Amino acid sequence: MVGVPASRLVRTADADALAGLVSRNRAFLAPWDLVRDEEYFTVDGQARRIERALAEHELGAICPYVILEADGRVVGCITLDGIERGPVQSCHLGYWVDEDHNGRGLATAAVADMLGVAFGELELHRVLAATLPHNAASQRVLERNGFERIGLARGY
């Protein structure tokens, strides 16, 4: 749908939706995600995570966004983090989308949104993204957004 944003800054009101998503997608995300404590999967845990992320956002350290379905429902997260200023002017991109919403172009659109934030609003020079070698779907999302494959970090 034209004119509908693919992502927006996370809000504390998103804690309930995100707790549901991370709980429902726990097994799906496990091959790519960090090992999480049980609190992470609760509404309170997500609320605390969002509050910390928004505080870091105020300091210019990260851009924590949610990925949206066309109807405005939250279906994932996308973040620019490790924002470096000075001569480097770079950051790292990370994202995930609800398993039931994979393959619909939502991640591709959200990455495009975030590149607009990175290169426009933040005036960065480089955005780095890493995937595991077997995550072909995520690699396609990045390729569709103009990322170039640079190398393989064997220990990643």
Of 90, 135, 129, 134, which Cα lies nearest the Cα of 112? 129
Estimate the share of the chain in helix, then strand, then coil, as percent rounded to the nearest 5: 40, 20, 40
Using DSSP, state whether 135 is helix, strand or coil.
coil
- 13-50 tens-digit pLDDT: 999 999 999 999 999 888 778 888 999 999 999 999 99
Per-residue confidence at 4, pLDDT binned at 50, 70, 90? low
**142 vs 156, which has greater pLDDT?**
142
Instruction: Say what percent of the chain tops pLDDT 90.
Output: 78
- pTM, two decimals, is 0.91
* Amino acid letter, residue 145: N
Residue 154 burial by CB count (10 A; 0-12/13-18/19+): exposed, middle or buried? exposed
pLDDT digits (tens, 9 = 90+) for 58-109: 999 999 999 999 899 999 999 999 999 999 999 999 999 999 999 999 999 9
